[in-house]
Structure 1
Amino acid sequence: MRSRKPPLRFRGDGTFTIVQFTDTEFCRDDEEERRMAAMMERILRTEDADLAVFTGDVIASLGHPDPVEAFRRACRVPEQAGVRWAAVFGNHDSEGMVTREQLHALQLAYPLNAAKPDPPGIHGSGNYVLTVMGSGAGQESKPAVAAGGNEDEAAAGAGIAGSKPAVAARGNEYEAAAALYFLDSGSYSPLEYTRMGFYDWIRRDQIDWYASQSQRLTDGNGGVPLPSLAFFHIPLPEYNDVWDFAVCYGERNADFSCAPWINSGMFAAMVEMGDVVGTFAGHDHGHDYWGDWHGIRLSFGRTTRNGYLDRPFLPGARVIRMREGSREFESWIRLEDGTVIREQQRHEPTGRTPEVGSMGLNKVYPGGI
């Protein structure tokens, strides 16, 4: 029987800091991998993280003689740093001699892991929601600025997410103050043979499960949606929309994002439920951009392992800081060399060109992502 683990909790100063690692692809216990692991532990300690999140492709299992051992090396990083952690899985995690179900069971066994068992009857493995409890500080929070206001525009380049009206004030250590959703975005498209894309998508039963959990937490919060973040590996189709039609910040080192060609409605569900204020994906190693789309900030992490790129792109991590009693959050990037990027390069929307199509339909996907 698993021992009961302590809940995640906002600090006394009202902050909760998450470090997002993505596409670490542990596979060979060599000098490059050991350097990456040391960087990860260094970032966790420097940022004084409350939670580390792996957003998929934790390992590169294809052709690996012992993918379980590779996964254990990844797990040791936050464990040795003394930081709570959780993971979702990507397309490379279960290509080899290990299943997603086995990997999820492995992470649940670690003392500092915060993940939860899968809900029954839901597609994939690694679908769960974590709540962040109140600090018990009993302080009022600053009212949030309505989305689209002048303060939102001024704060955008600095990575401060705009917000809807303020939520309940800080204070009760026995009540959930925020929620974190983790979803299995799958691996490869089951319809690839019909030319319906290359990558998988979040399925309807997962979306229905998310909506039911969101409603449960909203009901428990007096009818007010909890400020929430969502983590998954493969970006939603809307990640292409936000780049093409909204102001974004950061880099996109390809013509498009490798999202599924099937839009299953996950983004629409988050808009309808009104709780998720930010999503965080991986998968595209050369992307670290973010943009606001219909009230939700869509963000890529910074790849933690620089693989498959034909240009210099220093690895690192994305850092996310939530504030209790607020729908606002801050985010920045910390690189391997210690550089902190708080203001990313602005990108003006240019629309969508026919040769790229709505999701890169006429392009060949670059290998290895």
Structure 2
Amino acid sequence: MRKTVILLVVLLGCIPVTAFAQKQFFFKDGRFVVAQFTDLHWTPQSAKCAETAATIRAVLKAEQPDIAVLSGDVVTEDPAMEGWKAVVAIFNEAKVPFVVTMGNHDAEYMTKDDIYDFLLKSPYYVGAKGPEEIMGCGNCVIPVYDSPNKGKVEALLYCMDSNDYQPNKLYGAYDWIHFDQIEWYRKQSARFTAENGGVPVPALAFFHIPLLEYNELADDGKTFGNALEGVASSRINSGMFSSFIEMKDVMGVFVGHDHDNDYIGIDKGIALGFGRVTGTDAYGSLTRGARIIELFEGKSKFDTWIATPAGREAEYYYPSGLNSEEAQTMDYLPAMKAVPGKHGVAYTYYEGKCKRVEDIASCQVVKKGTMENISIEEATVTDHFAYDFRTLIQIPEKGVYRFYTFSDDGSVLYIDGKLVVDNDGGHSARRSEGKIALEKGLHELRVLYFEDYMGQELEVGYSGRNILETPLPDSMLYLPE
């Protein structure tokens, strides 16, 4: 089996036998932990290097990661070789496997080829120079297996060079991940998917410069963490993000570059996160540390948090987008003291013109009844109608839940009389969402919806800490008394 695994990696062209043979990665008790250190800005002649080293050692000792990823701007002053020797020595002494992706400053002081030639001499370096025929250096993918005996790939870590600068200022200062790199990623992803019976293997991607799509998260109200500066991305949309979407394997992208950002959010199902700046000589006001990502075997799921020498900061959960801070601070609504009866949803169907949900009350009541789930399919006209849905929802465990409506036109969702989702007004199909903390048990759920004209649609769903986002299932809905 060991020979088969090594041969597979060689055929995939991602990690040479010498590097792969130094360390194979496996889930332990269903977990695999990655520590992302970023922007060390190691300055060999600076006394602050001792503090940077102490930060790294403290995090490694406390978190015991299976692998460390250094996501760029590692050594950023001369003498560069002296700096790289000092950084590598930290991981060698700690006996922690590590991999490096290039930042925009690294090649200013030492060529990328020379950097990787040196890195590959370390018995704990597990990356590669990457294919010579594509842009950048250090492009590689690291598989994580279920166990030494079975040899099934359960997760992937893509490490890529986001390059540094490009000469045409019309396109902005920073370079981007190029098409040949993207093609390489797509081929690796497709092969691992094929080997997995056509099912994409859950993956993470690491590089230095944030994608243009990080700008879509800025000020969206859904990120978690510190956002103290703008996004210094390339101004060119490289197509990397759309490839992650199409290949359906990458759950999260983790970068550095912006030292005063360490936030994370979800865009179109993919988590986009910053690491925590590590180097004392780097600019920025945040306490130095690292981002920790914990993967779960056999699941498209991870938990992540910031670790510093002082301890951990609040956890963020993918794919729910929830976090431990809100779970501790939000007020939980108590469950009803009732026993579930028959499954279903009670509804009142109206006809009449509405511009907002409040207008429903003035419409004509046409019909009342029950149905299996929230649906507008029984509407007898195509425009100018409305519904008032009422049901009891069975919450499986105490926690924070995210509810959403996707509607054309307006909709609002209440739980126990509290407005959770406001998707009101006349509009084309769009999504709105909200969070609420609920005790285990039955809760009153009410959805108001109206259709004005030109198109009609309504979907209501939820997610939780341990629940992937899904439309509300029939099995958790009960008729109100």
Question: TM-score normalised by the shorter chain: which range applies?
Answer: 0.7 to 0.9
More strand by proportion, 1 or 2?
2
Other-structure match for 2:122: 110
1:6 aligns with 2:23: yes
Unaligned runs of 5+ in 1: 137-171, 347-369
Query: What is the rounded CA distance, in whole Å, between the counterparts of 1:308 and 1:104 in structure 2?
Result: 23
Q: Distance in 1 between matches of 2:305 and 2:98?
A: 19
Query: Which residue is 2:180 aligned to?
Result: 205
CA distance in 1, matches of 2:23, 2:276: 29
How much does 1:133 deviate? 0.9
Match of 1:145 in 2: none
Residue aligned with 2:22, SS = coil
* Matching residue of 1:83: 96
Give the Cα separation in 2 of the matches to 1:309 and 1:116: 29
- Greater relative CO, 1 or 2 (CA 8 Å, sep 6+): 1
**Structure-to-structure mapping, 1:1-369, within 5 angstroms:** 2=18, 4-11=21-28, 13-61=29-77, 64=78, 66-96=79-109, 98-135=110-147, 173-192=150-169, 195-245=170-220, 247-254=222-229, 256-307=230-281, 309=283, 312-342=285-315, 343=323
Q: String of CA shifts for 1:74-115, please: whole Å, max 9, x gaps.
A: 11111111111101010110112x111211221121101110
Deviation at 1:244, TM superposition (A): 4.0
Post-superposition shift, 1:306? 4.5
8 Å contact from structure 1 (residues 14, 135) kept in 2: no
Once residues 95 and 297 of structure 1 are traced to their aligned partners in structure 2, the CA distance between those partners, rounded to angstroms, is 31
Contact 2:41 2:281 in 1 (8 A): no
Q: Per-residue CA shift, 1:39-98, capped at 9, x if unaligned? A: 20121111011001100001103xx1x2111111111111111111101010110112x1
**Structure 1 position 38, deviation (Å):** 1.6
Paired residue type of 1:109: K
Q: Find the aligned partners of 1:241 and 1:345 in 2 and give their Cα distance.
A: 23
Equivalent pair of 1:22/1:56 in contact (CA under 8 Å): yes
Aligned to 1:351: none
Deviates more, 1:331-340 or 1:72-81: 331-340
Contact 1:246 1:293 in 2 (8 A): no
Structure 2 counterpart of 1:84, which letter? P
Comparing 324-333 and 334-343, the one that deviates more: 334-343
Structure 2 CA distance for aligned equivalents of residues 344 and 262 of structure 1: 35
Q: Is this contact kept in 2: 1:251–1:345, CA < 8 A?
A: no
- Is the CA contact 1:182–1:230 (under 8 Å) kept in the aligned structure 2? yes
Choose 1 or 2 for highest CA Rg. 2
Percent pairwise identity: 38
Contact 2:51/2:280 (<8 A) preserved: no
Q: Which amino acid aligns with 1:295?
A: G
1:135-159 C-alpha deviation (Å, 9 max, x unpaired) = 36xxxxxxxxxxxxxxxxxxxxxxx
Given that residues 288 and 300 in structure 1 are in contact (C-alpha distance below 8 angstroms), is that contact kept between their aligned partners in structure 2? yes
1:167 matched residue in structure 2: none
Q: Deviations over 1:191-225 (max 9, x none)?
A: 22xx2101110000000000000001000111000
C-alpha distance in structure 2 between counterparts of 1:336 and 1:131, whole Å:
29
* TM-score normalized with structure 2 length: 0.60
In 1, Cα distance between equivalents of 2:220 and 2:167 = 29
In the aligned structure 1, how far is the partner of 2:68 from the partner of 2:82? 20
Number of aligned residue pairs: give it. 302
In the alignment, the residues of structure 1 paired with residue 18 and residue 115 of structure 2 have an alpha-carbon distance, to the nearest angstrom, of 16
Partner of 1:355: none
Aligned equivalents of 2:325, 2:311: Cα separation in 1: 19
Partner of 1:141: none
- Does the 8 Å CA contact 2:49/2:280 hold for their aligned counterparts? no
- The answer (yes or no) to whether the contact 1:85–1:113 under 8 Å persists in 2 is yes
> Which structure 2 segments of 5+ residues have no match?
1-16, 316-322, 327-481
Deviation at 1:335, TM superposition (A): 1.8
Question: Secondary structure of the equivalent of 1:318?
Answer: strand
Equivalent position of 1:160 in the other structure: none
3-state DSSP of counterpart to 1:41: helix
Instruction: Give yes or no for contact 2:138–2:159 (8 Å, CA) kept in 1.
Output: yes
